[in-house]
Amino acid sequence: MSQSRPTDARIKELAEKKAQLDAQIAALDARRRLSQKKDEDRIKWLLGTLVFDRLSAEPALQSPELLELVRRDLPERLTQRDRDRGLWQILFPDVQEDRS
């Protein structure tokens, strides 16, 4: 039984090291996910700004394809909130939105 104690102590020591490594891995993974989320949010913001700027440009500078894409697909992303209906009118003041 004399070997049981050193073995038990070594198991406990290794289990503690494993717990520390697991915590370090979890922290690094969380940091990586946060960084990826920030990158994705930045890309979305940049793309949104680009699209908005193109839609706000003089009619001669607007892309008909982009305009059609936004008019076709954006209503699906809007909610029923009055604020969203107001946002649609900012983009397309000349269009009466039909959301029945």
Q: Is the domain of 49 the same as that of 68?
A: no
Count of structural domains, the chain: 2
Q: Quick one: pLDDT band at residue 59, thresholds 50, 70, 90?
A: confident
Q: Is the domain of 6 the same as that of 42?
A: yes
Q: Is the domain of 72 the same as that of 33?
A: no
**Where in the sequence is the domain holding 92, given as residue range(s)?**
63-100
Q: Is the domain of 1 the same as that of 36?
A: yes
Residue 2: pLDDT over 60: no
Residue with tokens 């490594």: 21
- The total number of residues shown for the chain amounts to 100
Q: Is the domain of 51 the same as that of 8?
A: yes
Q: Can you give the pLDDT at residue 100?
A: 45
Q: Which of 8-17, 19-28, 81-90 has the lowest mean pLDDT?
A: 81-90
Asked if residue 91 lies in contact with residue 55, where contact means CB atoms within 8 angstroms, the answer is: yes
Residue 54: Cβ-neighbour burial (10 angstroms; 0-12, 13-18, 19+) = middle
Q: Which of 28-42, 46-60, 81-95 has the highest mean pLDDT?
A: 28-42
Task: List pLDDT tens digits, range 77-100.
Answer: 777 775 666 777 777 777 665 544
Q: Is the domain of 21 the same as that of 38?
A: yes
